[in-house]
A and B are shown apart, each in its own frame.
Chain A
């Protein structure tokens, strides 16, 4: 048994979903996504028992490209994030009607397939193919099933597509250059390549461009807020919950160990860039009128901190970053879903037109509040574990990094509570807010359970990711 099984399930699922037709599409998609989750958990138990679940097959001999899937703890944690969030995301869409549902749900599964591949790939070219493949479904999802004015939407989505594609081309160039040096695309060969400091810097920057746009790190973030707003909520969840983690994960997996000299030399600059994102994103979030846009900027702030943690090149920084990636994935999906639940009832996301929900639906309010508190990293939520570890790692590099990055706990509380007050509290809204349905409730409860459980007991995840992060740090320190 190896991890290719998950890819096969997701790919077959995508086709099956398309062929069963519009009526059954959503259920079939949910079935396959749950199957992928179940198999991943089985694989996890195999992995924990010490079994090798990786796969390396020669694919193309000239140039030497392999079909290599490497399942170490880090990759598995990301795999689990993907296959755990996918069913939640699919299930959350059950309250909506989509035209051409078979296409819609097939694209979701296809995207999950491509993202899983990106996390697992251990061959540069294979990785690149998956990376770009993931862009196609989200492009269509956002373009076809998005909301708002068609022209504006097209403008935003096309910009996103071209922009990320352009960034990735630099990465491709870097891979080709590396291939000329190493004679292979296999990641372990790339780790061993002997590069001069200047070469490393160029490689590092080429990777950076691809990742900075995807994550996004300021000032490469301008596509984000508009796409998050225009895409259907399912698309926003896929983007913010999983896809942006591809960029963060790739920093740890590819960028740092391949160009460690550059990483060490320019560490402070990139940490500073991440922290600038924290402050900038938080401040911009303060005065957003649209709920989804506000959440987009809050996401910008959070991933800035994760990126800063990754660039510290310390075990605390990397571990905190990965923990926070997972925690952020869940909380952001929960928050966007809450926004969707509100939209289903009020048909607006303008914060000024909301309010007065608490009095009508205390249950929903409680769940929304827990998500808000997780987002501001209240201790006992999963997000605190990651944020604490990352901030600690920053304080070990320079105490000012921790102080500036730590402003997120003040500014985050400010914009999130302000939003909460505007959206939920106050006198009764003139529109009626029907209480959350069972389906909606299930998704939110699952997310909250995950956030609270790992808030107190993050050990299983820490134990899973730590060995592989240490291996990566060894590669970095050797060069």
Chain B
């Protein structure tokens, strides 16, 4: 029963993918969209069933299908593990996935390749489910690379534009750098414990720790390698530059893949292997520091971006950084909490921005927006709620989760707390900068656009409203002092690492600081973009620090100069010099042989005199040798 249901859960989106690939075009746009959506909804319903079962029985469900890869000291199954963590992840993957599918039916309706869009989206959900549900690291890896593939396909969905194709390719290759790290981490773990299966691994690690036979430095290296993998997928420094470029894809893709689900895979994997990371405190420190720095760097870049999706993209990188900060401090359940609330409000923000872009027929530059509040009230209100949530305004979901992270950071390391807090203030600022520039004051676009301004239809606003509700109340799942989430996830973690923070004076003070910080960010944005009615300068007028920020610290240019160009230069050198000289060397050997033959040929001249002469000479030599030798 469980096996069959788990298969339905995984395969329903895959079936949707197949139907849309083979018959999508003939079925027509609406049917194709409905099939795509229905297949994800089925998965969502099955997930609800499992969720219900797990909250009641507290027991993980392990499903083994068949042997997949055979290694000398162990074999790897194709199997599933449905426990608290995976079911929780599946809930929002399939839940938000369903909403975004519904949204896409309307959003993509004008695209001639809509069936293809839905087939890719279904394929993505299939791989994402595989990633989450796999019972060992290698099944996770199928999903891991599979979602990377779908990301590649969807970023480059409008494939006629080679810039978009470049962005897609960049995402895939950068992810693969991380994937190599993940592979190496798997190799080390596999050779240390002879398994890649999560539950067996947990037992093996515990046993080795008990017997003090654990090679901690090696385990640390494995953890570091796994973290490199997480950096690629979850866009952390130094592998984050693909995510902003990934905004080339259609907006529902940005919401689903590049905000709510795929980019959280790194956090999922680290949470899954918390028992490994707990034994590698140095790596945890690295994770915390990388996370904090990423959150700050991305936030600073977000301050000056003018493309509405780019702002949200950098905001995503920044929020992911905060999650890694929590992971590094060992507060896994806090990171998971923020993953969930972030999925709600960021998906809502992206879909809202999509609604705006849709309304403006493809315009993404906030300098050409403004005053949309009246024309698009639902989009405005849902985005406003989500902006309040991400800014950490009290009682919206983001307030609780972000506060938990900062609280944990405060207890772990003051500098990290300060960095996280500064990033949070910046977040509040740029989010409201976005809101003011987009929705307030007068419209700055063309008359033509102004004439056509309208609220998007129900298929677009319905998901927005659901997500806005979730973004508002999502925090209830983990209230300070009384956290449902913590007790739900408790079986996963060895020790109650995040024993509910006592709400003492310090905690209230910190909460106050965070709230004031958030409000301060909003207030500055209000002064600058509402009161003073500033609009960001045209590209060529941006100077000073703003220019550095606007150009993302020139990191792309740096990577390009140092890595891409040097590899290509080496390639050209190999092609033009090494290859030709190696080839010449082989021909040279041939020529030497030829030359010897040619010189030899001269001896065979056919002149009897010469032969006789040689013969006599040889005879004399032999005779004299015989006589002289005796």
Interface, chain A (partner B; CB < 8 A)? 159, 162-163, 219, 222-223, 225, 280, 283-284, 286-288, 314-316, 319, 358-359, 362, 366, 373, 378-380, 385, 388-389, 391-392, 395-396, 399, 402-403, 406-407, 409-411, 413-414, 417-418, 421, 425-427, 456-459, 462, 466
Alpha-carbon separation in the docked complex, A458 to B177 (Å): 26
* Inter-chain contact A283/B162, CB cutoff 8 Å: no
Give the interface centre of A319, A380, A402, A456 by most chain B CB atoms within 10 Å.
A380
Q: Give the number of A-B contacts (CB < 8 Å).
A: 128
* Inter-chain contact A284/B571, CB cutoff 8 Å: yes
- Other 16 A-B pairs with CB < 8 A, given A222-B583, A222-B586, A379-B142: A222-B585, A280-B574, A283-B567, A284-B574, A284-B575, A286-B571, A288-B575, A379-B138, A379-B145, A399-B184, A406-B183, A409-B179, A410-B176, A417-B173, A421-B166, A421-B169
Closest partner residue, chain A, to B179 (CB atom): A409
Chain A contacts for B159, CB-based, 8 A: 358-359, 425-426
Chain B contacts for A222, CB-based, 8 A: 579, 582-583, 585-586
Chain B contacts for A411, CB-based, 8 A: 567
Chain A contacts for B70, CB-based, 8 A: 319, 459, 462, 466
Interface, chain B (partner A; CB < 8 A)? 21, 66-72, 78, 116, 138, 141-142, 144-146, 149, 152, 156, 159-160, 162, 165-166, 169, 172-173, 176-177, 179-180, 183-184, 187-188, 190-191, 567-568, 570-572, 574-575, 579, 582-583, 585-587, 590
Chain B contacts for A385, CB-based, 8 A: 68-69
* Inter-chain contact B69/A378, CB cutoff 8 Å: no
* Inter-chain contact A162/B571, CB cutoff 8 Å: no
* Inter-chain contact A314/B146, CB cutoff 8 Å: no
Partner of B142, one of A288, A380, A417, A418: A380
Alpha-carbon separation in the docked complex, A210 to B570 (Å): 29
* Inter-chain contact B579/A284, CB cutoff 8 Å: yes
Closest partner residue, chain B, to A288 (CB atom): B575
Chain A contacts for B583, CB-based, 8 A: 222
State how many angstroms separate the Cβ of A417 from the closest Cβ of chain B. 5
Q: A385-B69, A413-B172 are in contact. Are A402 and B165 (CB under 8 A)?
A: no
Chain A contacts for B190, CB-based, 8 A: 392
Partner of B66, one of A225, A280, A457: A457
* Inter-chain contact B146/A414, CB cutoff 8 Å: no
Chain A contacts for B149, CB-based, 8 A: 373, 378
Alpha-carbon separation in the docked complex, A284 to B567 (Å): 10
Give the interface centre of B116, B156, B571 by most chain A CB atoms within 10 Å.
B571
State how many angstroms separate the Cβ of B562 from the closest Cβ of chain A. 15
* Inter-chain contact B142/A389, CB cutoff 8 Å: no
Give the interface centre of A280, A359, A373, A392 by most chain B CB atoms within 10 Å.
A392
* Inter-chain contact B180/A403, CB cutoff 8 Å: yes
State how many angstroms separate the Cβ of B339 from the closest Cβ of chain A. 24
Give the interface centre of B78, B145, B177, B188 by most chain A CB atoms within 10 Å.
B145
Alpha-carbon separation in the docked complex, A284 to B583 (Å): 14
Chain B contacts for A413, CB-based, 8 A: 172-173, 176
* Inter-chain contact A287/B575, CB cutoff 8 Å: yes
Alpha-carbon separation in the docked complex, A286 to B575 (Å): 9
Q: A286-B568, A409-B183 are in contact. Are A315 and B72 (CB under 8 A)?
A: yes
State how many angstroms separate the Cβ of A45 from the closest Cβ of chain B. 21
State how many angstroms separate the Cβ of B461 from the closest Cβ of chain A. 33
* Inter-chain contact B162/A410, CB cutoff 8 Å: no
Alpha-carbon separation in the docked complex, A447 to B145 (Å): 22
* Inter-chain contact B567/A409, CB cutoff 8 Å: no
Alpha-carbon separation in the docked complex, A22 to B400 (Å): 80
Give the interface centre of A223, A379, A459 by most chain B CB atoms within 10 Å.
A379
* Inter-chain contact A314/B586, CB cutoff 8 Å: no
* Inter-chain contact A395/B187, CB cutoff 8 Å: yes
Chain B contacts for A378, CB-based, 8 A: 145-146, 149
* Inter-chain contact B191/A396, CB cutoff 8 Å: yes
Alpha-carbon separation in the docked complex, A457 to B66 (Å): 8
Chain B contacts for A403, CB-based, 8 A: 180, 184
Closest partner residue, chain A, to B148 (CB atom): A378
State how many angstroms separate the Cβ of B491 from the closest Cβ of chain A. 29
Alpha-carbon separation in the docked complex, A219 to B145 (Å): 33
Chain B contacts for A225, CB-based, 8 A: 579
State how many angstroms separate the Cβ of A236 from the closest Cβ of chain B. 18
Chain B contacts for A284, CB-based, 8 A: 571, 574-575, 579
State how many angstroms separate the Cβ of A379 from the closest Cβ of chain B. 4
Chain A contacts for B67, CB-based, 8 A: 459
Alpha-carbon separation in the docked complex, A219 to B583 (Å): 9
State how many angstroms separate the Cβ of B397 from the closest Cβ of chain A. 35
Chain A contacts for B586, CB-based, 8 A: 159, 163, 222-223
Alpha-carbon separation in the docked complex, A314 to B191 (Å): 14
Closest partner residue, chain B, to A281 (CB atom): B574
* Inter-chain contact A287/B191, CB cutoff 8 Å: no
State how many angstroms separate the Cβ of B414 from the closest Cβ of chain A. 37
Chain B contacts for A406, CB-based, 8 A: 180, 183-184
Alpha-carbon separation in the docked complex, A399 to B190 (Å): 13
State how many angstroms separate the Cβ of B570 from the closest Cβ of chain A. 6
Chain B contacts for A427, CB-based, 8 A: 160
* Inter-chain contact B571/A283, CB cutoff 8 Å: yes
Chain A contacts for B142, CB-based, 8 A: 379-380
Closest partner residue, chain A, to B73 (CB atom): A316
Q: A284-B575, A406-B180 are in contact. Are A391 and B187 (CB under 8 A)?
A: yes
Partner of A389, one of B71, B160, B176, B180: B71
Q: A159-B587, A159-B590 are in contact. Are A392 and B187 (CB under 8 A)?
A: yes
* Inter-chain contact A286/B172, CB cutoff 8 Å: no
State how many angstroms separate the Cβ of A279 from the closest Cβ of chain B. 10
Partner of A287, one of B69, B172, B572: B572
Q: List 12 A-B contacts (CB under 8 A).
A: A283-B574, A286-B567, A385-B68, A392-B71, A395-B187, A406-B183, A409-B176, A409-B183, A413-B172, A414-B173, A417-B172, A427-B160
* Inter-chain contact B172/A458, CB cutoff 8 Å: no
Partner of B160, one of A287, A410, A426: A426
State how many angstroms separate the Cβ of B155 from the closest Cβ of chain A. 12
Q: A163-B586, A417-B173, A459-B70 are in contact. Are A426 and B162 (CB under 8 A)?
A: yes
* Inter-chain contact A380/B146, CB cutoff 8 Å: yes
Give the interface centre of B72, B138, B570, B572 by most chain A CB atoms within 10 Å.
B72
